[in-house]
């Protein structure tokens, strides 16, 4: 595992898992939200995002967390592992609420500077509808990544077990 994608609904713990994996494996972590957003919740152009992503991927190893389906093909082609956090909506809403309440008014470490955490009702709806709108496509991505190891984790307990077991499989 040297080039890892982590996908799944917001609030599922993609960024948290990415940081934990980065520490365990000694790999740089790329949060797609940091590449897409700039101060004041304004997004960069697609061209700038693509350029930033290409630069981030032009190293020997990385962990990229985020969905951004427009660039999924490019990331799938270069990864060796895809981790899909296939959580139910309630778990994701809980994660989102914990994130909002714990960071309200502050920029999170996995977000661009100048983008303070806020509550957005439309984001709640997006999370509520995520599996209905994206689950089939995410499993298609996994099927498409025949060259890569694919891992599906369904809850936080499985994430913890995965991280614990990973420690047993790391080379000395």
Q: How do the domains of the chain map onto residue ranges?
A: 3-159
Q: Helices 89-103 and 121-144 sit at what angle, rounded to 10 degrees?
A: 130
Q: Percent of the chain scored above 90 by pLDDT? A: 79
Residue 170 in this model has a pLDDT that exceeds 60? no
pLDDT for position 97: 92
Q: Which residue has the tokens 């809850």?
A: 155
pLDDT for position 168: 60
pLDDT for position 106: 79
* Cβ neighbours, 10 Å, residue 35: 23
Higher per-residue confidence, 58 vs 169: 58
Average pLDDT over residues 69-85: 95
**Cα–Cα dist 113/81, whole Å:** 29
Query: Residue 28 corresponds to which tokens in the numbers above?
Result: 């740089």
Contacts of 45 (CB under 8 A, 6+ apart): none
Average pLDDT over residues 123-127: 94
* Domain covering 3-159, topology: Rossmann fold (3.40.50)
- Whether the Cβ atoms of residue 7 and residue 66 lie closer than 8 Å to each other: yes
Higher per-residue confidence, 102 vs 152: 152
**Cα–Cα dist 66/10, whole Å:** 9
pLDDT for position 172: 43
pLDDT class of 114 with cuts at 50, 70, 90: confident
């Amino acid at each position: 595992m040297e080039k890892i994608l982590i996908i799944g609904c917001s609030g599922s713990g993609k960024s948290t898992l990415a940081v934990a994996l980065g520490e365990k494996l000694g790999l740089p972590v790329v949060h797609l939200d940091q590449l897409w957003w700039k101060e004041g919740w304004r997004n960069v152009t697609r061209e700038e995002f693509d350029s930033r992503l290409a630069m981030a991927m032009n190293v020997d190893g990385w962990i990229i967390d985020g969905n951004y389906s427009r660039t999924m093909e490019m990331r799938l082609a270069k990864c060796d592992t895809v981790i899909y956090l296939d959580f139910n909506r309630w778990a994701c809403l809980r994660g989102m609420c914990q994130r909002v309440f714990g960071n309200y008014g502050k920029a999170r470490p996995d977000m661009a500077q100048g983008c303070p955490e806020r509550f957005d009702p439309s984001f709640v709806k997006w999370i509520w509808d995520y599996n209905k709108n994206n689950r089939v496509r995410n499993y298609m991505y996994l099927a498409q990544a025949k060259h890569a190891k694919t891992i599906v984790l369904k809850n936080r307990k499985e994430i913890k077990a995965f991280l614990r077991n990973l420690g047993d499989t790391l080379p000395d």
